Amino acid sequence: MAGERILIAKVGLDGHDRGVKVVARILRDAGFEVVYTGLFQTPETVAAAAVDEDVDAVGLSMLSAAHMTLAPLVVEEIRKRGLEIPVILGGIVPDHDLEALAEVGIDTVLTPGASAEEIADRVRAAIAANNEED
């Protein structure tokens, strides 16, 4: 299935964008239409962009250790706007945070070392699972 739209965002004060640009390219090469919002986004701007861009999923890149604070806020803002789309987190995330992130609505977490194939497959699987629920 090709042609899915994904919004990729850097939330908070994390200014490290090399990895997210690589992921955006991986997804684009795998057939996704990628919208990258750039650095220093807020949960509100990410949710608004998700609505405006009519995306199938949102990918968050976080390397600042703020994932337990910011990721739930992004999910909350997206849900407030009536979107029931997967939210995928990539970055430095300790294993002990994975269950709590799932409980707040993060569909999948990708950590450093994930292959290009794994990234595309897991994003595609999150979108497919969400579409089956509809």
**CATH code assigned at 101:** 3.40.50.280
Full-model pTM:
0.95
User: Residue 75: its pLDDT value, please?
Assistant: 98
**DSSP class of residue 4?**
-
* Sign of the dihedral defined by the CA atoms of residues 45, 48, 53, 54, in that order: positive
Look at the chain and report how many structural domains it folds into: 1
Return the closest-CA partner of residue 10 out of 2, 1, 19: 19
Q: Supply the range of the domain harboring residue 116.
A: 5-133
CA atoms within 13 A on the CB side of 72: 11
- Element at 28 (helix H, strand E): helix 18-29
Q: What is the pLDDT along the chain (134 residues), one digit of tens a residue?
A: 457 999 999 998 888 899 999 999 999 999 999 999 999 999 999 999 999 999 999 999 998 889 999 999 999 999 999 999 999 999 999 999 999 999 999 999 999 999 999 999 999 999 999 999 86
The amino acid sitting at 26 is I
